[in-house]
Amino acid sequence: MLDFKTDAILLRRIEYGDHDFIITFMTKDRGKITVMAKNAKKSVKRFSGSLDLFSFNHIQCRVPQKNKDALLTLVQTDLENGFANIRYDVYKTAYASYWAEMVYLWLEEGKAQTNVYDLLLFSLDMLDRSDMPKEVVSLLFQIRFMSVSGFSPNIERCGICQNHLDNIPAKMLRFDFREGKIVCPGCCVNGSGYGLDVSKGTLKQLFWMNNTDVGKADRIRFSSVAVREGQILLESFIAFHMAREFKTLTFLKRLRNESWT
């Protein structure tokens, strides 16, 4: 039988029958894969503590030989990091679940996306260790996710006149969701499409976060206003671009609203 081993982050787990799970992993070298974990609810030896959402594992899978359309079989897992500090914090869990859902919905089955994998693992580790505020880690994940996924927005210069942010005197600019670009006040016509107004300072911070070395990202300091603006911009643009409603984002927003009231 043909087996393979790889590192993987658990994105989704669904109960199947009385004893099994259908699990989706984001793997290092095979992209998104879906596997059957047979008797996982009873098998303490093979899967103990390793099948929780966004856990980081070294997994062994078996490729079906007779039925080519059948799911891969999860043979064994070795837990590398369960990210316990995330799991015991409802806010951190909400953020990590949002990222996992985003990656799950975006990725194609079996297509390697090493940059996305590395970004998700890095962000989960940052969130678990509290090296940055959880809200800022989420901004980092989202802006970088858009960049490595090929639909990074233009937030450096006006998408029409091409003036750089530093040469635009206005403090507020329009972000056009449909075009994925900012528009300066001089180029705006009737609100410039479907979008929102964002301060130049927030845009410059997001641009720096997306283009500096990721290891230096913890140096940036966002004000509470910039965090909220960044959240609204990135979460709205990703949902619009992917044409998806994220269940985890709805829950996350509800948590944030409760903390602000």
pLDDT score, position 255: 93
pLDDT digits (tens, 9 = 90+) for 160-209: 999 999 999 999 999 998 888 999 998 987 555 678 999 999 999 999 99
User: How distant, in Å, are the alpha carbons of 37, 56, 106, 156, 231 from that of 42?
Assistant: 11, 21, 32, 53, 41
Structure confidence at residue 43 as a pLDDT band (50, 70, 90): low
**57 has pLDDT over 90:** yes
Average pLDDT over residues 70-76: 90
pLDDT score, position 33: 95
Higher model confidence: residue 149 or residue 129?
Answer: 129
pLDDT score, position 69: 74
**Would you say 110 and 31 are in contact if contact means Cβ atoms under 8 Å apart?**
yes
pLDDT score, position 203: 95
- Structural domains in the chain, sorted by start: 3-82 (2.40.50.140), 90-260 (1.20.1440.120)
**7 has pLDDT over 90:** yes
Average pLDDT over residues 215-222: 79
pLDDT digits (tens, 9 = 90+) for 12-27: 999 988 888 999 999 9
What's the chain's average pLDDT? Answer: 89
Query: At CA 102, angle to CA 58 and CA 154, rounded to 5?
Result: 120
Structure confidence at residue 102 as a pLDDT band (50, 70, 90): very high
User: How distant, in Å, are the alpha carbons of 37, 62, 63, 109, 201 from that of 1?
Assistant: 17, 7, 7, 22, 57
Name, in order, each residue with C-beta under 8 angstroms of 152's C-beta and a sequence gap of 6 or more: 143, 146, 180, 210
Structure confidence at residue 141 as a pLDDT band (50, 70, 90): very high
Structure confidence at residue 139 as a pLDDT band (50, 70, 90): very high
**219 has pLDDT over 90:** no
pLDDT score, position 135: 95
Average pLDDT over residues 209-234: 87
**218 has pLDDT over 80:** no
The percent of residues above 90 in pLDDT, for the chain, comes to 63
Structure confidence at residue 124 as a pLDDT band (50, 70, 90): very high
Question: Distance between CA atoms of 146 and 26, rounded to whole angstroms?
Answer: 17
pLDDT score, position 190: 59
Question: Distance between CA atoms of 249 and 157, rounded to whole angstroms?
Answer: 29
